[in-house]
Amino acid sequence: MDKNMQHRANVLQGTLDMLILRTLVYGAAHGREIGKYIQRTTNDFLQMQHGSLYPALHRLEKKGWIVSKWETAPDRNREFKYYRLTEKGKKQLVIEESQWKQMAEAVARVMWPAGEES
């Protein structure tokens, strides 16, 4: 993979990580719930594929930003792996959100310079 593709992959991975952390602010959820929440709140613009979501969950767990536990779903007689945000994850989310905001503002300044007619 060339250097530009690797950088793009890292940016996308970081964005997915941030979205997962943000989703877990609202409470514990299993993988499918996390994916559906992201899809629903982005009006189906972002659709979580198992091949991206579950590796991201494992990566975040390895970093100590989330923890998981097998539990029986309240409305089902089946166990799911529920993910929860850790204190370390909450702190990381603040960092991620700040960096995202800085990047979005920088891109906006290039795309829509002040005083330029649209």
Residue boundaries of the structural domains of the chain: 3-111
Strands (E), 36-78: 66-72
| Count of helix runs (H) and strand runs (E) in the chain | 4, 3
pTM of the model: 0.82
Topology classification of domain 3-111: Arc Repressor Mutant, subunit A (1.10.10)
pLDDT along the chain (118 residues), means of 10: 50 81 96 93 85 93 98 85 98 95 93 78
Q: At what angle do helices 87-111 and 3-24 cross, to 10 degrees?
A: 120
Q: What pLDDT shows up at residue 118? A: 56
